[in-house]
Amino acid sequence: MKNIVILIFITIATAFCVNAAQSENKIVSLKLLHSMSKKELGEYWKSKKIPKFIMSAKYDVDVYEIVYKAPWVDGTEINASGLYFVPKATNEEKLPVFVYHHGTQLEKKRKSLDESPEQSLALSMAADGYYTLMPDYYGMGEGDGMHLYHHVWSQAMSTIHMLYAMDELNARMSITRLNDIYLGGYSQGGHATMSAHKYLQEMNDPRYHVIASAPLSGAFDLSGVQSEVLSRSYPSPFYLPYLLVGFQDAYQYHEGNVYEIFQAPYDSLIPQYLNGTYTANEFNSILPDVPVDVLKPEYISQLKNSESVISTMIAENDNYDWIPEAPTLFCYCMSDEQVSPMNSIKAYETMKANGAKHLYKKNISNELGHLSCAAFAITEMKFFFNNIREGRSKVTKGDSLKRRMIAIYKSKKEKEYVAKQKEKQRLQMDGLRAEVQ
């Protein structure tokens, strides 16, 4: 009953926040971080060894950090933050908007441009002629509160209210844009992309019309396909405590200190590693390989009971059983060891069965893992968006020469990745033999 009441409250709060007039007085603070000419952009990508055929520069770009007002789960107001990459178009030009949803990040502090390939991607989209947003998500960057990991509503709100803040800044700078919105992201960013797409579609605000979306390698079926990794050895066990601690702020599902659900010594270790200063690798290093082993037995039982409060709460953030109206591209890699490719396949098949007409899916590689898959999935997204923007009928095709060059590069990376995995397995076997001897 408590869970149902919370869900009803969130639904009412969401309706109020989305339908209220939100386009004015959103910005709390504004900072210009970078101003880069086309020449400087070319030199920057060259320094990163990024080929010109992948990233070109049609526009100079300014990069702003925006701190903006957004609704919290209880109806109060918090600060959220993100980056706005502004192509310097002429007054006569109208450009579309692209929102990039970044992948999982444990550290609260946003990385610098030089440290972040995802910011480089956002920069390239702006240079190619998209007003580009990169929300930090609630609780990240310069925002308030705890990050609600894989929480559909807050992910959508971070995008929607940053769109409002963008328009407030655009008005100050006399920028007139197209109402066309493109949405993309990888991993958690794929789940967040799906969240934003669904809520923007339901808003039906002509200022924010979703033209296309690319939710890449996301954990769309949290309670089903993705939950299967919890009871076996898994390379990123921190995902589970990150999810359960954040969801406490959203749902208040545990009466008392949420860290009581973890068995010793994790009940005292986990709070230290969720203070926003540790990396994912550092957090993973103190956790058991099997994610559920951090929990007390009674909470493991709740995870396995589909009718329990915890399982119901997680299922409320599954994000695939609806009908997207805009063209939607799913990309994945079959050897993804972190986010099962079946998440994308199930989402595609469910939406297709629901009646969605413009769905596309692509297996990027049979060999690449989660991190090595990302660059190629994102490149496919860029082809997809540009094809739609330029009115091509075959939206999943693209420049054949560029595709051949990317295929050659991908083949090289696949061989390197497979060799690295074999070497890793060999070292593990050598270690086991040493233990036996």
Q: 252-258 — which CB contacts under 8 Å span 24+ positions?
A: 252/6, 253/2, 253/3, 253/309, 253/310, 253/313
In the predicted model, what is the mean pLDDT of the chain?
89
Structure-token pair, residue 145: 């509160």
Cis peptide before 324, with omega less than 30 degrees from 0? no
Q: What is the pLDDT of residue 427?
A: 59
- Grouping H, G, I as helix, E, B as strand and the rest as coil, residue 252 is coil
pLDDT at 418 over 80: no
Distance, C-alpha 339 to centroid of its chain:
12
- H/E stretch holding 429 reads helix 400-436
First-residue to last-residue Cα distance in the chain: 56
Percent of the chain, pLDDT > 90? 77
The closest of 152, 104, 85, 58 to 386, measured between CA atoms, is 58
Contact 72, 78 (CB under 8 A): yes
Dist CA 133 CA 203 (whole Å)? 19
Residue type, 157: M
**Which of these ranges, 35-44, 303-312, 349-358, 385-394, has the smallest mean pLDDT?**
385-394
* For the chain, percent of residues with pLDDT exceeding 70: 88
Instruction: Give 289-334 pLDDT, tens digit per residue.
Output: 999 999 999 999 999 999 999 999 999 999 999 999 999 999 999 9
Task: Specify the 3-state DSSP secondary structure of 50.
Answer: coil
Residue 206 has pLDDT above 80, yes or no: yes
| This model's pTM is above 0.85 | yes
Burial of 336 (C-beta count, 10 Å sphere; 0-12/13-18/19+): buried
CA atoms of 186 and 329, how far apart (whole Å): 12
> What is the rounded distance in angstroms from the CA atom of residue 404 to the CA atom of residue 395?
17
pLDDT, tens digit, 9 for 90 and up, residues 141-162:
999 988 999 999 999 999 999 9
- The model's confidence at residue 4, banded by pLDDT at 50, 70 and 90, is very low
Once rounded to an integer, what is the mean pLDDT over residues 6-21?
44
Q: Which residue has the tokens 């504004």?
A: 30
Band of the pLDDT at 18, cuts 50, 70, 90? Answer: very low
Structure confidence by residue, pLDDT tens digits, 246-301: 999 999 999 999 999 999 999 999 999 999 999 999 999 999 999 999 999 999 99
* Cα distance between residue 101 and residue 135, in whole Å: 7
- CB-based burial label for 383 (10 Å; 0-12, 13-18, 19+): buried
Mark out the alpha helices in 295-399 (DSSP H runs).
297-304, 309-315, 342-354, 370-389
Q: Is the CA virtual torsion 91, 66, 62, 123 positive or negative?
A: negative
Q: Which of 197, 65, 41, 67 is nearest to 121 (CA)?
A: 41
**pLDDT tens digits, 47-97:** 877 766 667 789 999 999 999 999 999 999 999 999 999 999 987 899 999
Token pair 């709060």 is found at 13
Tokens 């919890």 locate to 230
